[in-house]
Amino acid sequence: MIDIKFLRENPDIVKENIKKKFQDSKLPLVDEVIDFDKKARESQQEADALRGNRKKVSKQIGALMGQGKKEEAEALKEQVNKDAERLAQLEAKEAEYQEEVKKRMMIIPNIIDEKVPIGKDDSENVEVEKFGEPVVPDYEIPYHAEIMESFNGLDLDGARKVAGNGFYYLMGDVARLHSAVISYARDFMIDRGFTYCVPPFMIRGEVAQGVMSFAEMDAMMYKIEGEDLYLIGTSEHSMIGKFIDTIVKEEELPTTLTSYSPCFRKEKGAHGIEERGVYRIHQFEKQEMIVICKPEESPMWFDKMWKNTVDLFRTLDIPVRTLECCSGDLADLKVRSIDVEAWSPRQKKYFEVGSCSNLGDAQARRLKIRVNGEKGKYLPHTLNNTVVAPPRMLIAFLENNVQEDGSVLIPEALQPYMGGLKVMKPNK
């Protein structure tokens, strides 16, 4: 959510930003906000005048009563009662207008960074840089589900009976590998100075609305029936929500946290053949990172954060690339976003394994997170980034490490988390 003062003073900039995001249907919202905001302020001004006059008249009534001028005092009392009725009307109108302003402000997209390329959707995202040399071996790479099944490590049919499509059982060495990757990612981030956190896996509605758009909530989140609780789709929502309605001391910034959590997503819509198996699922686990910092430091932290993910994948010798997300691919609260994609030797292309986002002060404004600084209170910037998200990350790992005989090599960095195991050998 952008600053109402900024919109009031720069409506053309806000409209141009909406056009850059190809959301022209939202253009009328800007003028509507200005109109309702004007009405709300006019109501407030009239109400403030009545409140001020009430204090003044109350003193006059007291003085008149003291002088025995009861009739004059009663006349003033009648006027005070009429003013009280008018004040109640104004307060109700002001609240109504403010609610109309908020309703529209919640769906007007954030102002994007000048570095963001203009494009309609993810097909127009721009490659930034490649890390590592993509390799296509001279033998056929099996589909990731087949690799897992060769170790008796994946049971989709059993999961389908228990929970339906989009769920899975991981077993044996594959399950162990999954946990090893999460544990390695946790320690990797701790070594980079982030504080480890295991957050709540459910959040209240006001937190969900504070960290994401209504459209995202509807597309992603599972609501707990009969309660004001949602299962988290990603742990940064719970982690940022930790600071709702708080005042942070400036000297405590930046706050850098890395979290483990399961994640739950609806994943609406049909998907192609490459998204079978465990690529697009309703439940997965993830190691995440968030930063809350001074506004002037958020570009620096943005670069640091996506580089952490690149560095982790490179320690496992998985080639990756970064993509700058175009304007039409950015969620409404995001200022800028970079996707990290891993190389798939089977598909001979890259696929997304993580995303780093700078949300500016949008989440802080919605959640009322403030910083107490030398020059007064201000809103911090919030950022988030995926460290690893198995089992999708396992797809990249298995495809880049499977050998011609079906065995899978374990990189040195992961071996301590696999009990010293260097090679996984298939059972069939």
Residue ranges covered by each domain of the chain: 4-105, 122-424
User: What one-character DSSP code corresponds to residue 402?
Assistant: B
Q: Does domain 4-105 fall into CATH 3.40.50.920?
A: no
The model's pTM is: 0.89
**Residue 120: predicted pLDDT:** 96
- d(CA 180, CA 187) in angstroms, rounded, equals 11
Look at the block and give the residue holding tokens 């080639």: 319
Q: How far apart are CA 242 and CA 254, in angstroms?
A: 15
Closest by CA to 185, choosing from 288, 278, 255, 319, is 288
Cα separation of the two ends of the chain: 54
- List average pLDDT for each run of 10 residues in the chain, which is 428 residues long: 94 98 97 96 88 70 68 69 80 93 95 97 96 95 95 94 93 96 98 97 94 83 94 94 96 97 80 66 95 98 98 96 97 96 96 96 96 94 96 94 97 96 92
Cα(275)–Cα(282) distance, rounded to whole angstroms? 12
Q: Label the pairing between strands 408-409 and 320-324.
A: unpaired
Q: Are 368 and 337 in contact (CB under 8 A)?
A: no
Q: How far apart are CA 147 and CA 277, in angstroms?
A: 11
The whole-number pLDDT of residue 73 equals 67
Q: What is the sign of the dihedral through the CA atoms of 282, 285, 287 and 289?
A: positive
Give 167's DSSP letter: -
| Level-2 CATH architecture, domain 122-424 | 2-Layer Sandwich (3.30)
